[in-house]
Amino acid sequence: MDTSNNPYGPHTSSPKGGTSLHEYPKINLQNSNAMTTPMTTPQPTNAQPPIATPESEMSLRATTLVTNLSAVTARITSASASANVSQTWPQAQRPQCPVRLVAVSKLKPASDIQILHQYNPALHFGENYLQELLEKSKILPPGIRWHFIGGLQSNKCVTLARDVRGLWAVESVDSEKKASLLDRGWGERSTQAGVGEDAATTTAAASASEGRDAGADGDRLRVFVQVNTSGEDSKSGVEPAEAVRLCRYIREQCPRLKLQGLMTIGAIARSRATTMENKNEDFLCLRETKERVEKELGLLEGDEEAGEGLELSMGMSGDFEGAIAMGSTQVRVGSTIFGARPPKGEVKMV
């Protein structure tokens, strides 16, 4: 599958409007919209190794990040092609849209995100912690599409929906109360000075995108209902049997929210055992829950808003290929792109 014009995920080569692998600009997080100048790496003198400088280190980091991103993109493309010809599930039920990649950048510096955003402006980014997301959204370009994928606390829902610039989706909704608070926060956002300008900027940055990945969606906030498919007490999410009720509540009682799909974080043991051939029980459960929600809410019966139905956000670094084989429309990949995460106490925001 040719991904050179794919608005849903990263390109394996430099995308139109992006930056090629050998032309990284300097990162200026104090003024992320300012013009930047090409970065050069010092050359050896008298057979001595080059001196390590901030510029040379940033250039090396940029090369590493883009190489990793390109490798993940190639794997997504290959897994998608294999899924389209496999007999894992009926052809009529397979998603027709390209798989979206969300690069999970939690505990990683803003400079890493800036590098990948400059390389591919269509790439989405995921964060787990509200304060970190708030700070990053303020210093990075307004056109970045942010997903909040961490545990959602009721007392932070309004702030999340109201104050995060470029917020594209919240993927961890697991109660009616939290949905209502997000709806309220999104409403307050629309009354704040400058938010309309922010939305216009985000929409303009995504003008080349189409369909489900467009920058704006009728001024509503996209949400995914998190489902606890593994039954583990340590996992957030509604029980599969409760998903229909919560999805119905969002569609009927939260006018500022758009029900985008379902999300799960499966059991680690199942994740490690997942391959393209070995089905993951968590992914199967989420897919069956999606089908039940669509049937109960009539989402595939001439509903223009539903389009091709609900999305499935499932699959991370260790199992995203198996998730794609099971029908995932969005994967969340972090360490495979950014490398191992540092302890929270050693995190550098910039």
Q: What is the mean pLDDT of the chain?
A: 80
For residue 303, what pLDDT is reported? 59
Helix axes 130-139, 110-119, angle to 10 degrees: 60
204 located within any domain: yes
Average pLDDT over every residue of 100-106: 98
294 CB contacts (<8 Å, ≥6 apart)?
300, 306, 309, 310
Whether residue 279 has pLDDT greater than 90 = no
pLDDT of residue 84: 72
pLDDT of 149 > 70? The answer is yes
Q: What is the pLDDT of residue 96?
A: 64
For residue 160, tell me if it sits in a domain.
Answer: yes
* Vertex 32 angle, CA 27 and 33, to 5°: 125
Q: pLDDT class for 307, splitting at 50, 70, 90?
A: low
* Residue 56, pLDDT score: 78
pLDDT of the residue at 42? 43
Mean pLDDT of 83-94: 57
Structure tokens at 344: 């929270």
Mean pLDDT of 143-164: 98
Q: How buried is 217 (Cβ within 10 angstroms: 0-12 exposed, 13-18 middle, 19+ buried)?
A: middle
Whether 154 maps to a domain, the answer reads yes
- How far apart CA 85 and CA 106 sit, in angstroms, is 35
Distances (CA, A) of 219 to 159, 163, 195, 253: 17, 15, 11, 16
Would you tell me how many other CB atoms lie within 10 Å of the CB of residue 274?
24
Confidence of residue 6 (pLDDT cuts 50, 70, 90): very low
Comparing 268 with 291, which gets the higher pLDDT? 291
The number of folded domains in the chain is: 1
Residue 336 located in a structural domain:
yes
Domain assignment of residue 80, yes or no: yes
Q: Alpha-carbon Rg of the chain, whole angstroms?
A: 20
Each residue's pLDDT tens digit, 177-199:
999 999 999 999 866 644 444 54
Domain interval for residue 300: 54-346
Give the helix ranges, DSSP H, for the chain. Answer: 54-85, 110-119, 130-139, 157-163, 176-191, 195-205, 243-253, 268-273, 281-297, 320-325, 335-338
Separation CA 320–CA 53 (nearest Å): 36
Burial 104-130 (b: 16+ CB within 10 A, else e): bbbbbbbbbbbbbbbbbbbbbbbbbbb
Q: For 152, which DSSP code?
A: P
Location of structure tokens 């043991």: 269
Residue 26 is given by DSSP the state P
Confidence at residue 18, expressed as pLDDT on a 0 to 100 scale: 59
Give the residue-averaged pLDDT of 302-322.
Answer: 82
- Can you give the CATH number for the domain in which 275 is found? 3.20.20.10
> Among candidates 22, 105, 116, which has minimal Cα distance to 73?
116
Backbone angles phi, psi at 124, to 5 degrees: -95, 155
The reported pLDDT for the residue numbered 86 is 58
In this structure, is residue 116 part of a structural domain?
A: yes
d(CA 288, CA 271): 18
In the chain, the amino acid numbered 330 is Q
* pLDDT digit string, tens, across residues 210-251: 345 544 445 899 999 999 998 888 889 999 999 999 999 999
Predicted local confidence at residue 164, as pLDDT: 98
The answer on pLDDT for 9 being more than 60 is no
Share in percent of the chain as helix, strand, coil (round to 5): 40, 15, 45
| Residue 5 placed within a domain | no
Specify the pTM. Answer: 0.80
28-36, long-range: CB < 8 A, 24+ apart? 29/110, 29/111, 29/114, 29/139, 29/140, 29/350, 30/139, 32/114, 32/139, 32/140, 32/141, 33/141
Given this model, what pLDDT does residue 92 score? 43
What's the pLDDT at 300?
76
